[in-house]
Amino acid sequence: MSKDAIYNQPIANVSEFRFDARVVDVFDDMIERSVPGYRAILSMLTPLAARYATPNSNLYDLGCSLGGATQALQKGLTDPTSQLIAIDSSPEMVAKAAQRLDKAIKLHCRDIRDQSIEQASIVVLNFTLQFIPIDQRTNLLNRIAKGMQPGGVLVLSEKIAFTDPHINQHMIELHQDFKRAHGYSELEISQKRSALENVLIPETLETHHHRLKSSGFQSVETWFQCFNFSSMLAFK
């Protein structure tokens, strides 16, 4: 695993964060040291797949990056007629994911907004929706809901914001403490924050729950949260 050192030297003009070759090379380390609870969320996708995947259905990992969630889903499958479909818009991510994923998995390089959703029993958006422009998120969730089977489940994991500005600031600081504890310097934390500022736009849990229900999901539950990172289950 290559160590994330992308922002460990001063950068005169920090450019917007992109999932390019530099990020792909250190992604495993970056995600482990940046997202509290990431491995816990992945581990729970296996029992979710065992419970909710149905015969002759599709399971989608939208914004699959290197395929961690895809692999976790595959471990839980018991019916060979279930089809896994992994989608990411970064050619560099897809190229590396192809080296890791089972050849039976359908892996495509495309924008998830262009992906059709059909006969889905499980859809995963694992820290993906936050990179979609806010005004396009409802349309994406509407299309996902329409393509899901009754009883299907959407796993939506996101960095979140809080309505109370004091609580919001506390959670941001706790997240920064988490990154310091995992070896990131003040310079790295500051420069990465600048790179993500206009790229990753978090919303409140209340906003997510309301949008999911208005998109056609019958019930929504927050099943995981650590500081300002959360994961929800939305049932069709």
- What's the pLDDT score for residue 185? 98
Mean pLDDT of the 62-70 span: 98
Q: What pLDDT digit, counting tens, does each position of 136-178 carry?
A: 999 999 999 999 999 999 999 999 999 999 999 999 999 999 9
Number of other CB atoms surrounding residue 181 within 10 Å: 9
Q: Would you place residue 72 in the very low, low, confident or very high pLDDT band (cuts 50, 70, 90)? A: very high
Mean pLDDT of the 115-129 span: 98
Mean pLDDT of the 102-123 span: 97
- What's the pLDDT score for residue 77? 97
Mean pLDDT of the 74-96 span: 97
Q: Would you place residue 223 in the very low, low, confident or very high pLDDT band (cuts 50, 70, 90)? A: very high
Burial class (CB in 10 A: 0-12, 13-18, 19+), 228: buried
- What's the pLDDT score for residue 198? 93
* CA within 13 Å, CB half, 78: 9
Q: What pLDDT digit, counting tens, does each position of 202-214 carry?
A: 999 999 999 999 9
Mean pLDDT of the 79-108 span: 97
pLDDT at 1 over 90: no
Task: Give the separation between CA 17 and CA 10, rounded to whole angstroms.
Answer: 16
Q: What pLDDT digit, counting tens, does each position of 189-199 carry?
A: 999 999 999 99
pLDDT at 15 over 90: yes
All structural domains of the chain, each given as residue ranges with its CATH number in brackets, are: 38-161+199-235 (3.40.50.150)
Cβ–Cβ under 8 Å, residues 32 and 215: no
- What's the pLDDT score for residue 180? 98
pLDDT at 25 over 90: yes
